[in-house]
Chains A and B, each alone.
Chain A
Amino acid sequence: MMQIFATFEHSMYLEVGISELQKNGITDIFAVPLKRVNNEAAVFDSLTRSDGRSFLDSGFALAVILSTIFASKGFEWELGAIYWGLIGAGSGLLIGTLFEVLVFKMKNKDKKLRLFKKSNQNIGEVILIIKCEPKDDKLISDILKKNLAVGLAKVN
């Protein structure tokens, strides 16, 4: 008997993969969902990752205030209400987000901050261990790869 280790991100592909394995008679499967340990934060969360921090709260709050005030003032200023409203919104969003980023930097000097999550850092959120006959090895790794396994290893 050999064992195949694979890591996955949380997604429906994982469940599709498990179902395909089961359909092929491979049912001895062990799964370990991992708790996330963060040492990096991103301003924007992506589809597969969110770090539980929001950097956009103050930005949106300020965007609403500044766009309302600037749009009002804009009725008297040269560029008009809409342009000033948009300028207020953009600058509010920028200032507010920068403020949150600065606060984060001051509080967490050891942590890195990016705008978006780096895609090559998908090291997996679930470990899957599959017990199988050596002859099924190819079939299983094909199914796992097709369903977006992030990492793969085989142990005999």
Chain B
Amino acid sequence: MASGLKQRALPRDYLSISESTILHLRKPYIIAWWSVAFPGFGHILLGQYFRGMGLIVWEILINLHSKINTAMVYSFTGNIQMANDTLNPRLLLLYIPVYLFGIWDSYRGSVELNKEYKISEIKQTPITKYKMNSKGINFLDKRSPVFAFIWALFIPSLGQFYQQRILASFFTLLWTVIFIYFSNFLEGFIYLLQGDFARSTEVINIQWLLFIPSFYFFTVYQSYTETVELNKLFDKEQAAYLEKNFQSSDFKINKGRLVE
């Protein structure tokens, strides 16, 4: 580290008991894509949790009120008339600007954050390894991305729990339960297993069901990729620790014979 430089850059991580916010490179178009799939997801990936959660709640409420998911199903199946009849126009026009804003803002946010990341990486800004207080303990740890993936496949939220992202985890779990409950997903699933396709389609609530695909795959994706990034940060922190403490300049390497 150049000691003459004034430190004026983001630290490379911030640990609290309930969240681990980290800096790493993101592909802006992937971030924008997740905002297309569900407003707020792009911001969550950037570590802007409050913006992300706010947009997610906004999306769910206005989508429910305007019946956008139901209208989407009718449109995909070619019933344009039914789609138009379903849509509730009262708040519909409020939806579009916020939706587009979410995409644009997360895209430009990731571009800006990538620049900050590069500066932090050049300046080798601090990486916090430990956090402990009366509410609990959090530290950089080695975790298996494949297990994060598998746990997230079973129940959305467990991947984030594994990463010690407790708030995000319970936020995800709460909405998962709400979506499953109101969409009658599990009831429809049981009829499917029994081979009763017509009954299954009948009990399912279209409006609520359509929240599930993007929500589900997002949590799996985030669980996997963020675990990889947390591991990289662990490696960087350890390398910096070793370089600082175990590279004394008077250490001489032996040039003798290999014994064993």
Contact = CB atoms under 8 A, between A and B. Distances in A.
Interface stretch (B92-100, B109-117, B205-213): B205-213
Given A75-B201, A156-B259, A47 B231 contact: yes
Contact of B200 (A32, A82, A88): A82
A48 B235 CA distance: 9
A52 B253 CA distance: 33
A116 B198 CA distance: 41
Given A75-B201, A154-B260, A155-B256, A10 B234 contact: yes
Contacts of B232: 50, 52
Interface residues of A, number: 57
Interface in A48-98: 48, 50, 52, 54, 56-57, 60-61, 63-64, 67-69, 71-76, 78-83, 85, 88-89
A14 interface: yes
A28 B247 CA distance: 10
Interface string B61-86: 00000000000110011000000000
A138 to B, nearest CB: 11
Contact of A89 (B189, B217, B241): B217
A45 B228 contact: yes
Interface in A13-55: 14-15, 18, 28-33, 44-48, 50, 52, 54
Interface in A120-156: 125-126, 128-129, 131, 152-156
Contact of A31 (B145, B247, B257): B247
A2 interface: yes
A53 B57 CA distance: 32
23 contacts: A10-B142, A15-B238, A29-B246, A31-B246, A31-B247, A32-B242, A33-B243, A45-B228, A47-B143, A47-B145, A47-B146, A48-B231, A64-B218, A67-B213, A67-B217, A68-B210, A72-B76, A82-B189, A83-B192, A126-B239, A154-B260, A155-B254, A155-B256
Interface of B: 27, 30, 33, 37, 72-73, 76-77, 141-146, 185, 188-189, 192, 197-198, 200-201, 204, 206, 209-210, 212-214, 217-218, 220-221, 224-225, 228, 231-232, 234-235, 238-239, 241-243, 245-248, 251, 253-260
